[in-house]
Every structure is written in C-alpha cells, then in structure tokens.
A and B are shown apart, each in its own frame.
Chain A
C-alpha cells in the first residue's frame, strides 16, 4: 500500500532523511517513532506529496507520488503536526470546504460530514468558530478533515497530542477501526500508544531507519521503551550508558 524506497531529503547542507526504505500493507497501523528532529515530519511531508524528495521513491497504492501525485493525493488523508485549520471558519463550513476540495460529490458531502462529526465527537460543536475551540477539539477537527474523504491511506502526525485521557481512548479506538481496511502511518512520542495500536514499528534516528519490524517480534522479550532507547542510542553518544543501566 505504501512503499518508501531509498528516500533522501537534503536541505542544502543538512540531510534530514538519508536513504530510508520501509513498507506498510493494507490493514496495518505503522508506528513511526524517533526522537525530535529525527526526520519523521519530513518523511511524512514527502509521503503526502507536500514536498519532493531529493532522491528515492514513494508509492501509494501503486502510484508514484512524483509521477502520479494527483492519484496519490486523492488516496491520502493527512493530519500534520499542527492541524491545518482556518480559525475564522465554523467546524461545519471547514469540513464542507475540505470535503469539496478532496473531491467528494455534492450529493455525498452531507453524509460524509455527518459521519466524521460523529466519529470524531464533534456533534456538539458544528457551528462553533474553530478559532474559539479548545486544543482537544481542534485536534479532533484536524482528524476529521484527514478522514472525511475515506482515504485508503491515513498519515497522522501525533494525532492524540493535546487530548484528554477519555478522548485519547476514543481516538485510539477510532484509528483501530479505521485501520481495518486501510493503511495508517502514525507518528507519536507516546510509546504505550504504539504498543496498543500498531502492528508494525519503524524507528528513525538522525535521518536513518534503525529498526523496521513487527511489534510482536520487537517486544517478545522486552518492552518497547527499552527497544526504543537501545536503538536510538546506538549512534548517539549521550544516553547509551543510561540505556545499558536500565536494560
């Protein structure tokens, strides 16, 4: 479903992502982990077609993100790090706008909007102006826009950030449900979230992939925390001693 091959992105001198490859299948939730600045957001921006890679390819459902950008973008729902919201719109107007630019036919638009309002718990606020909403609601509006067109690939950059525990549980259940017939890439710093949700784990550090494996293989005889710390400290000097201590 998603096939990333030999992807490299340089910003001038700085190499943000270096020769990374991984795949995610239909029905899988892929947890994308790594310390801040490891290249997670850059990778997601390339996968969603927001920016081009310096070299390498990304294929979404068989379409190349560079050659068939349009076909890829039709199939992707993307929640960036900060939800892309128009603060002066109401929730309803915003979702209708997003639905239209994502190509939902007029006849199905109302149903699609109702569906995401319900599934993201926004039924109480459709007429509120987005700029006046709390962080949790804003995050949920961001999620709603990502899935309004029922995309076959969902790319979520820290989807549960800013939510209260109850909402986190709801959203995790929702993501789990959604993943049944699509592919989800989920970046997060919350490791228990990965243990609960994900089928596959990719850990990226300093622009390189250090692990790509199924969650069950990784956590067979250790916890995900320890796996994470072991791999990200392999080629960084600082926390390696600490890791060994806790292991």
Chain B
C-alpha cells in the first residue's frame, strides 16, 4: 500500500508538471462556466415568464436542481468522456515509451501496487478537477435554495462516472506504448458505453434491460435525480473493478510473477 501511494504521488506530481493538467483543468472550468451561465440565464428567463402569469403554483414548480444542476452535471459528464482519456493516456503508454516501464517492473513492486498506484493518482486528479466545479453549485446555494442532498448525490454520480471512465483509460493505456492510440481507443469505448442503450427502445424487453443496464448514462442520470440506489453503486463498482482487473492482467502479461 505504501508503494502504491508512492506511485500515486509520482503520478499526480507528473500530471501537474506537464501542461496537460492545466489545459484539461482550464478547459473543464471554461466549459463548465459556460454551461452554468447559460443554464442560469435560461432559468432566470423562465422565472420572469412564469411571474407574468401570476400563478404561484406554476412558479413553485421551477426548480434549481432540475433546471440548472442536473443539466450542468449531464453536460460535464459529456466533457469528461473527452477529457478523461487525455488524462489517462500517459499512465502506462508513456512509461513504455520512455523505458521507465523497465524500472517499475524490475523494482520489488507487485503489479497490483503499480496498477492501484496509477489508479489512485488519477482518482486524486479527478477529485481536484471535480471540486473546482463545486463553485457553481456553491453560488446556487448562496443565492438560491436548491436541495443540497440532490446536488451531493449528483456529484457522487459524476465522480463515480469519472472514475469508471478513468479505469477504462488505464486499461487502454496498458495495451500500447502510443498515447494517441490509448486516448482514442478509450474515447471510443466510452462513447460506445454512452450510446449503448439507444436500440433499447425497439429491442425486446430482455435485451433492452441488458442494454440499459450496461449504459453508463442510465446509471448516472438516476443519481443526478438524487436517487442513490445500490444497483447503480454496484454497477459503477463492477465497471471499476473489472477494468482494474483487466489492466492488472494486461500488465502482468509482460512477465511472470
């Protein structure tokens, strides 16, 4: 565990030494700010229109959680599909290219320590990345009265989604020594998981249920609504565990223990 933390620390530090971290964080904040500004603008517009109806009941139905926070998190999740592969593409591919893979694999480290270390490094980066966007809900909490519990559930969903994305990125990075190949193949897998439930509407009930279950978005959108269900947590847990396990196998395939 100590070794895993050493590697995690190295990963996090090297992320912030390279320009990638700053480009990713700036881009994420910029897009997040743009989404937030426009969603809030639309909310204001709706409030003004509804006020002119002089019907307090309709006005009460306008809800900051539904109209601002949920779509904001939904949009950020799409941005994560593109940015997470960029964060994870270096993890193994760069080590292989630079020859430092030999250093790691000939050191007295277990493969689990290497994989978990890389994983924790990415998770720490994602925590930093997502907590920067907490400024938007914070503004809402100061000037409005959204439901904090629903926001927290939504953020938990976004975090789990991002971590699941990252484990897929670690896996594709472990396959290759080319960062572009790692990033693009991760992006494709994530997009596929995002749209995998599209045929569900016309497919038979069993297949539809399977496709819906596989879809990352379906589980995420439940949590954004404020519903934390065990099945969604189990889903994210199994995606993360499976991807980490496969990464372990992929790294292990280089050598016998």
* A52 touching B255 in the complex, CB below 8 Å, given contacts A84-B98, A84-B99: yes
**CB-based contact A69/B256 at 8 Å:** yes
**CB-based contact B106/A49 at 8 Å:** yes
| B214 proximal to A (CB < 8 A) | no
45-67 of chain B: CB within 8 A of chain A: none
**CB-based contact A76/B106 at 8 Å:** yes
| A5 proximal to B (CB < 8 A) | no
14-35 of chain B: CB within 8 A of chain A: 14, 17-18
**CB-based contact A52/B256 at 8 Å:** yes
| A100 proximal to B (CB < 8 A) | yes
* A101 touching B107 in the complex, CB below 8 Å, given contacts A83-B99, A84-B100, A88-B18: yes
Q: How far is the CA of A97 from the CA of B14 in the complex (A)?
A: 12
Closest residue of chain B to A100, judged by CB?
Answer: B6
- B105 → chain A closest CB, angstroms: 5
| A241 proximal to B (CB < 8 A) | no
* A74 touching B255 in the complex, CB below 8 Å, given contacts A89-B14, A100-B6: no
Measured as residues with beta carbon below 8 angstroms from the partner, the interface class of chain A is 20 to 34
Residues of A within 8 A of B18 (CB): 88
**CB-based contact A86/B106 at 8 Å:** no
**Contact string against B for A residues 83-94, beta-carbon threshold 8 Å, 1 for contact and 0 otherwise:** 111111100010
**CB-based contact B3/A51 at 8 Å:** no
Residues of B within 8 A of A48 (CB): 102, 106
- A40 → chain B closest CB, angstroms: 15
| A26 proximal to B (CB < 8 A) | no
**CB-based contact A70/B110 at 8 Å:** yes
What number of A-B contacts does a CB cutoff of 8 Å give? 76
Main SS at interface, chain B: helix
| B231 proximal to A (CB < 8 A) | no
**CB-based contact A50/B14 at 8 Å:** no
Closest residue of chain A to B107, judged by CB?
Answer: A101
Residues of B within 8 A of A83 (CB): 99
**CB-based contact B105/A49 at 8 Å:** yes
| B149 proximal to A (CB < 8 A) | no
| B207 proximal to A (CB < 8 A) | no
Q: How far is the CA of A70 from the CA of B107 in the complex (A)?
A: 8
**Contact string against A for B residues 231-257, beta-carbon threshold 8 Å, 1 for contact and 0 otherwise:** 000000000000000000000001111
**CB-based contact A85/B108 at 8 Å:** no
**Contact string against B for A residues 63-74, beta-carbon threshold 8 Å, 1 for contact and 0 otherwise:** 000100110011
| B210 proximal to A (CB < 8 A) | no
| A189 proximal to B (CB < 8 A) | no
Residues of A within 8 A of B79 (CB): none
| A103 proximal to B (CB < 8 A) | yes
| A126 proximal to B (CB < 8 A) | no
Residues of A within 8 A of B99 (CB): 80-85
- A176 → chain B closest CB, angstroms: 24
Residues of A within 8 A of B2 (CB): 100
81-119 of chain B: CB within 8 A of chain A: 98-110
Q: How far is the CA of A101 from the CA of B106 in the complex (A)?
A: 10
**CB-based contact A84/B102 at 8 Å:** yes
| 13 pairs from A and B in contact (CB 8 Å cutoff) | A45-B102, A48-B106, A51-B255, A73-B106, A73-B108, A78-B102, A78-B106, A80-B103, A84-B98, A88-B14, A89-B13, A97-B10, A102-B107
User: B residues bordering A, Cβ < 8 Å?
Assistant: 2-3, 6-7, 10, 13-14, 17-18, 98-110, 254-257
7 tightest A-B CB contacts, nearest first: A84-B103, A88-B17, A52-B256, A74-B108, A84-B100, A48-B106, A73-B108
